[in-house]
Amino acid sequence: MENSTAALTQADRRHQVHSLHHPVDATDATIYASGQGITIRDVEGRDYIDGLSGLWNVSIGHGRPELADTAAAQMKTLAYFSGYSGSSTIPSIALAERLVALAPGMAAVFFTSGGAEANESAFKTARYYWKVQGRPEKIKIIARIHGYHGVTLQAMSATGIAPYWKMFEPRVPGFLHIQTCYPYRFRGARPGETIGQAAARELEEAILREGPDTVAAFIGEPIHGAGGVIYPTDDYWPLIREICDRHHVLLIADEIITGFGRTGRQWGLDHWSVQPDILSFAKGVTSGYLPLGGTLMTQAIKDAIDSVDPVNRWMHGYTNSGHPVCCAVALKNLEIMEREGLVQRSAQMGDILFRALHDALGSHPNAGDIRGGKGLLAAVEFVEDRATRKNFPAERQIGARLQAEMKKRGVVTRMRPAAGDDPAPGDEILFAPPLIMTEHEIHRMVGVLRAAVETVLGAG
Ligand SMILES: Cc1ncc(COP(=O)(O)O)c(C=O)c1O
């Protein structure tokens, strides 16, 4: 096969349907060939700073031979065997032990291949738990607008970003959405209420409206990822925990982006000393070197699963649950993260990134909201009018144009267009670079954003 972008793209178009596929994207497709550290290289030999760690997952950076060697060694020893009940493998046993040690309050894990499967498993775990408690009518899941939880049918129904639903509806019944704690855009706070209090009140109102006896769980990302890197106020998550406890609703933390040091702590909810009942993880657990995810759960839930009569057993599982090669790679990845102090490093570099974004764009008239400060997870929300927070018209495609100008200058990252949901966010540029990024590289990346903004929106 010829290795030019044009030839590869043509072949790609013929035979592959991509995530979020549309053929228009093939006109400007990039074929990536290799990666080293924070840099990825396309087939034409152009280098780019990876501003989003692949898809929020390549935390330790690209091109780590230790992970390749670990995978090869495990494949030579035992590439695969079933993890179905009554059968297990050494790497999955070791990884389960390691994860439970890393996650205080969690007692056991069910392994999956990725994030959506982890959330699917979380929803099924919540229903299962309530059935074991003799409360089979507790089945509903409350999620949030702007939440992203994956796109299998149930995960999509929890995801609160409308464009993901449109061509696949109807959604699975029993999933509903409330506003999230979005300090820049929240509507309906009462006088004297913080945004965190108002957003938490929405949860309590929804539980009461639906009937606490029908609600199984609430799910949220500690800090939103794909929905715009939205940071909550500090009072939000402790209030959410209290409300869930008050109404016997399980709290599912979707830590698929925020886990494993992305926010400068091991888990996102650690910032607020909140413990969930169920914790979904994926992405950073292997730094994306192999697919792996999972659902951590408390002792109470594990006890429920262990307590039933065999006819009511946990009839849930995947061929790849506890895959020995993926688990071995995850263990090595977590070892590297610990050895290199990457959780602490994420916290330090996150402060630098947040300050650099403020220095570069704090006074720009179109930089409406700059979010960051908890690890290497940040965003800038661009608006047409900073005073009224009015968005640019969607036709101007500000986000897409900023993204294209950044790519021309050697930085790839993700944007979210001003569209779709209510309240509609502005055009957002999102950052989640590898946790090994240096201060110098952060300034380079932010300098590229500044140059792109000057080209698309003017110097301000
Ligand atoms: C917070 C969150 N949850 C769930 C998912 C879904 O994970 P996957 O794409 O592995 O199914 C993602 C993916 O981006 C995510 O960011």
**294 and 396 housed in the same domain:** no
- Ligand 1 probe mutation, 112, 113, 256, most atoms within 8 A of CB: 256
Q: Is residue 74 part of a domain?
A: yes
Domain span at 385: 31-60+342-457
Q: Ligand 1 centroid vs 40 CA: distance in angstroms?
A: 22
Instruction: Measure CA 4 to chain center.
Output: 33
Pocket test for ligand 1, best of 283, 287, 290 (most atoms within 8 A of CB): 283
CA of 262 to the centre of ligand 1 (A): 14
Of all atoms in ligand 1, which is nearest to the CA of residue 117?
11
pLDDT (tens digit, 0 to 9) for every residue of the chain, 460 residues total? 677 888 999 889 899 999 999 988 888 889 999 999 999 999 999 999 999 999 999 999 999 999 999 999 999 999 999 999 999 999 999 999 999 999 999 999 999 999 999 999 999 999 999 999 999 999 999 999 999 999 999 999 999 999 999 999 999 999 999 999 999 999 999 999 999 999 999 999 999 999 999 999 999 999 999 999 999 999 999 999 999 999 999 999 999 999 999 999 999 999 999 999 999 999 999 999 999 999 999 999 999 999 999 999 999 999 999 999 999 999 999 999 999 999 999 999 999 999 999 999 999 999 999 999 999 999 999 999 999 999 999 999 999 999 999 999 999 999 988 776 778 899 999 999 999 999 999 999 999 999 999 999 999 8
User: How close is the Cα of 7 to the center of ligand 1, in Å?
Assistant: 31
Interatomic CA distance for residues 171 and 153, integer angstroms? 7
14 within some domain: no
- Are 325 and 304 in a shared domain? yes
Number of domains in the chain: 2
Do residues 301 and 354 share a domain? no
* CATH number, position 276: 3.40.640.10
387 alpha carbon, distance to own chain's centre: 30
Asked if the structure places residue 282 within a domain, the reply is yes
Residue nearest to atom 13 of ligand 1 (CA): 150
**96 falls within a domain:** yes
CATH of residue 397's domain is: 3.90.1150.10
Is 61 within 8 Å of 436 (Cβ atoms)? yes
Q: Are 347 and 301 within one domain?
A: no
Residue entry with tokens 């639906």: 210
* Residue that terminates a domain, selected from 295, 318, 339: 339
Task: Indicate the SS3 state at residue 45.
Answer: coil
CA distance 32 to 47: 10
Tell me if 97 is assigned to some domain.
Answer: yes
Alpha-carbon 208 to chain mean position:
29
Which residues partner with 178 through β-bridges? 144
- Residue 263 in domain: yes
Residues with CB under 6 A from ligand 1: 55-56, 114-116, 119, 148-150, 221, 225-226, 254, 256-257, 282
* d(CA 159, ligand 1 centre) in Å: 10
Q: Is residue 162 part of a domain?
A: yes
First to last CA, the chain: 47
Instruction: Quickly list DSSP for 293-355.
Output: EEEEE-HHHHHHHHHS-GGG------TTTT-HHHHHHHHHHHHHHHHTTHHHHHHHHHHHHHH
Residues 428 and 333 in one domain: no
In 3-state terms, what secondary structure has residue 238? helix
Domain boundary among 339, 363, 395: 339
